[in-house]
Amino acid sequence: MHVAVIEETPVLGGLIANGLCNTDLLSPGGSSGIFEEFRLRSQKYYQTNFANDPAMKSIPMAQLGFRYEPHVADRIFKEMFAEIPSIQVFYKRYATKVLKSGGRVTGVVTRDTNDQNEMTFRAAVTIDATHEGDLLPLAGAKFRLGREPRSLEEPHAGQIYMTHDGEIFGSGEGDNKLQAFALLATVKDYGPKGAKPVPAPPGYDPKNYAPEPTADTFWLRGGALPNHNTN
């Protein structure tokens, strides 16, 4: 196959390389496929370059390659892509139009994020692998938003909650809601003699970014990463 990957950012890897430095896997045994190849490369990189790092010495998931810096994840994915000659990546582009022949999608028209120049891609198979799924309405395809209600076939669907002990509760009703976006930041500790403090921008109010109480919106404490970083 010959594959054209259209990527709106200069970074490969999607969520993995854009801030999600710590996987949701509860057990290393859950890793497989392409991600497992990524994990092994991450593990090798940090064992080679940061063997004495505090995170590498004390955190098993870091030792196994499950915790990583975003720029390292981006580099690993680009190395993986570079090893497959039939894949070509077009960075800083996004789809603006879907090409069709009858009821079949035959490609997309894209636009450059900087100079707005257009480029057309024609393909036997077109896959929307983005978060937003904008190709559905652009193609005129039928779709629905939200989650389906709980049923015998889908016992974990609908509005439900789960405790840390695995107890499931909730109405199980469906809805038309979308998952909220989250902001994931990677912060580096330079030590007491490290980087200078960043002055607050004009009009900065921390309450606009961390509502009180923070428990209402604060859902991830992240964790220590190699190279003195924290997610």
pTM score: 0.81
Give the pLDDT of residue 217.
57
Sorting pLDDT into bands at 50, 70 and 90, what band is 10?
very high
DSSP letter (8 states) at residue 160: -
**C-alpha–C-alpha distance, residues 230 and 109, integer Å:** 39
Q: What would the pLDDT profile of 61-76 be if each residue is shown by its tens digit?
A: 999 999 999 999 999 9
187, β-bridge pairs: 230
Give the pLDDT of residue 25.
81
**C-alpha–C-alpha distance, residues 104 and 100, integer Å:** 5
Mean pLDDT of 97-122: 96
Q: What would the pLDDT profile of 121-180 be if each residue is shown by its tens digit?
A: 999 999 999 988 999 999 999 988 899 999 999 888 898 888 878 888 899 999 998 877
**C-alpha–C-alpha distance, residues 225 and 216, integer Å:** 25
Q: Which residue has the higher pLDDT, 219 or 186?
A: 186
If you average pLDDT over every residue of the chain, what do you get?
90
Mean pLDDT of 170-193: 85
Q: What token pair was written down for 155?
A: 């016992």
Mean pLDDT of 214-220: 59
Q: Is 88 helix (H, G, I), strand (E, B) or coil?
A: strand
Give the whole-number percent of the chain exceeding pLDDT 90: 62
Closest CA to 7 of 131, 123, 98, 97: 131
Sorting pLDDT into bands at 50, 70 and 90, what band is 33?
very high
Give the pLDDT of residue 77.
97
